[in-house]
Chains A and B, each alone.
Chain A
């Protein structure tokens, strides 16, 4: 009696059984399709992020990073000498702004580093938008770009603040990359 109850869902006729198997098969196919869809979407996200990583590690953006680093290293002795002094908060801020002023506007035969910094900021903005619209992978972007973006903002903040005096929105999207 109990056995009859347990199998009550099982169709008694052959047509019913075929129908049930068909429905179960359809459900499995749908689940498989959804999983596959999200897998593909994740893959596309990661590969799109990888394209950005490649762009960042080669060509003009790599050159920009190299120029910024080599210019700082060129003047590292003076920078370190300034940093070594125990300044009070105001003097430390003035000293930092002075170093940034020199590097960004005066160094390299007055070419400075404006173009290089702006190129990187513009790129970080693209990465941020890509992640925020879920077209790029957040974890990969965070692991690869956040440290560099944080470094650029921390070191060149006086320049960024200076630009924001005229354009308040300057690099605000790029800055979100730090906490993405």
Chain B
């Protein structure tokens, strides 16, 4: 009985809450305001983000359809992170919206909530309230 109590206390104290995680990641998004298409796009890649070993995670909705394709590419030792501009600048080119940062806890929260979100996308999804944290 005492052992179970200890395990419970350890589990409660030892498990960081969402708000604790947010505190360690000041640059992480605290709320999301996305369209249904964007939520759908994000939902397709949640598994992918959950597999990232480091925290926080870079989440971009740019080129959403190509995210999973990117994983199929060969990974060489020196991957490039430079972004080459298109050969010709055109007025119709998309504006860059900065990628946002999410902690793994936030990703797992979204994984749990995504079906509800897709059914009725909120105007603003706040992690503090949307994930059941006080």
A109-B55, A110-B24 known; A87+B93 contact, CB < 8 A: yes
By a CB distance below 8 angstroms, the chain B residues around A110 are 24-27
Interface residues of B in 58-88 (CB under 8 A from A): 58-60, 62-64, 66-71, 73, 75, 77-86
Interface residues of A in 42-59 (CB under 8 A from B): none
**Interface SS of chain B:** loop
Total chain B interface residues with beta-carbon distance under 8 A: 45
Per the bound structure, the CA–CA distance linking A8 and B6 in Å amounts to 110
B66 & A81 in contact (Cβ 8 Å cutoff): yes
A179 at the interface (CB under 8 A from B): no
B14 at the interface (CB under 8 A from A): no
A98 & B63 in contact (Cβ 8 Å cutoff): no
A163 at the interface (CB under 8 A from B): no
A69-B78, A154-B82 known; A77+B48 contact, CB < 8 A: yes
Interface size class of A (residues with CB under 8 A): 35 or more
Partner of B57, one of A73, A75, A155: A75
A80 & B54 in contact (Cβ 8 Å cutoff): no
Partner of B93, one of A83, A91, A99, A148: A91
A135 at the interface (CB under 8 A from B): no
Nearest residue, chain B, Cβ from A69 = B77
B89 at the interface (CB under 8 A from A): yes
B93 & A88 in contact (Cβ 8 Å cutoff): yes
B96 at the interface (CB under 8 A from A): yes
Partner of A92, one of B55, B70, B85: B85
Cβ of B26 to closest chain A Cβ, rounded Å: 8
Cβ of B61 to closest chain A Cβ, rounded Å: 8
Interface string of B14-36 (1 = CB under 8 A from A): 00000000001111000000000
A100-B81, A103-B81, A155-B82 known; A82+B93 contact, CB < 8 A: no
- Which residues does A use to contact B, with CB under 8 Å? 69, 71-89, 91-96, 98-100, 102-103, 105-110, 148, 151, 154-155
- Which residues does B use to contact A, with CB under 8 Å? 24-27, 45, 48, 52-60, 62-64, 66-71, 73, 75, 77-86, 89-90, 93-96, 98-99, 101
The 8 tightest CB contacts between A and B, nearest first, are A80-B70, A92-B85, A91-B96, A89-B85, A81-B63, A86-B86, A84-B63, A96-B83
Sampled A-B contacts (24; CB under 8 Å): A73-B79, A74-B53, A75-B57, A78-B67, A80-B66, A81-B62, A81-B64, A83-B81, A85-B62, A85-B94, A92-B96, A95-B83, A95-B96, A96-B82, A102-B58, A102-B99, A106-B25, A107-B58, A108-B54, A109-B24, A109-B25, A148-B78, A155-B80, A155-B82
